[in-house]
Amino acid sequence: MSDPVNSTILLLDIERYSDRDDIEQAYLRRMLFDLTDRTLLAAGIEMTSRRRADRGDSVMELIDSNASLAALLRTLLTFVPAQLRGMNRMAAASAQMRLRAVVTSGYVAMDSDGGWVGSDLNHACRLLDADVLRTALRERTSDFALCVAEPVYRGVVRHDHTGVPSDEFHAVTVDSKNGPLPAWIHDPAPWDAARVGRARTDASTQKSADPTTQSMAAERSNPPQADVALGGATVNGGVFGGDNHGIGGGTFHGDIHLGGGGRG
């Protein structure tokens, strides 16, 4: 295994991908890859400064840590929503694309098969699949929702760089088997803590087939806090376990169990 290298980690995931047929999914994948390439170029990140892992309904990019993180965030907040709006305006409903995104930074190593290994990468995947981020996208009229991990918030966002308004990011906490993961979700609208708190109940009701569990979830009435703990994350129907997992080139290594196809 190679030595871990500090990188910026970008994840983009298509909402409701698994609801589409094969032709629609193939189209959406082409649009996702094309949009990702154009976004990174617009942020000044060349092809030689990045590596890609294809996860079907999502894409992961490892970006050289020397690339401007502020420029990447600025591009994600301005260029991507505008591009999605233009793409979806003339598209049929089945061809429209809405995206969740996560940006973090951390150390990632390569195993002998080219797989990506690192707990920081696992944390990014858990944030991407967190109920609070899914809810944020589902309940807004725009087609894009961005979550940044704590290191990105501390290093860049809180300093209020041009085009990255710190007051539009709101603190959340995502539970994981390795402990709580603090994160920040971008939302220019007034932040509704009650809406965020409902994410746990809504997700539990949708995912559980047990009527008793559904009833218990619906009866939760604790007042939500601004910093909300949510359930652990899965990615593309898979569950991440243990401390070290590898992702890359479609190959997983470590304590990882995959389920059925991509999730939207």
CA distances (Å), 215 to each of 24, 162, 204, in order? 36, 46, 10
Other beta carbons within 10 Å of 21: 8
Are 193 and 171 within 8 A, CB to CB? no
243, with CB counted inside 10 A (0-12, 13-18, 19+), is exposed
Q: What is the CA radius of gyration of the chain?
A: 18
pLDDT tens for the chain, 264 residues long, are 778 889 999 999 999 998 999 999 999 999 999 999 999 999 999 999 999 988 778 899 999 999 999 999 999 999 999 999 999 998 998 899 999 999 999 998 887 777 787 788 989 999 999 999 999 999 998 999 999 999 999 999 999 999 999 999 999 998 877 788 999 999 987 766 555 555 444 444 444 444 434 444 444 444 444 444 444 443 444 444 444 444 444 444 444 444 444 445
* Degrees to nearest 5, angle at CA 45 with 44 and 50: 180
Going by DSSP bridges, is the β-strand pair 229-230/181-186 parallel, antiparallel, or unpaired? unpaired
Sequence-ordered list of residues with C-beta below 8 angstroms from that of 154, at least 6 positions apart, any chain = none
pLDDT in the model for residue 177: 76
pLDDT digit string (tens) for 166-217? Answer: 999 999 998 877 788 999 999 987 766 555 555 444 444 444 444 434 444 4
DSSP state of 125: H
Domain range summary for the chain, segments of one domain joined by +:
5-165+238-253
pLDDT in the model for residue 222: 47
Q: Tell me the whole-structure pTM to 2 decimals.
A: 0.72
pLDDT in the model for residue 2: 77
Sequence-ordered list of residues with C-beta below 8 angstroms from that of 225, at least 6 positions apart, any chain = 193, 197
CATH number for the domain running over 5-165+238-253: 3.30.70.1230
Are 137 and 15 within 8 A, CB to CB? yes
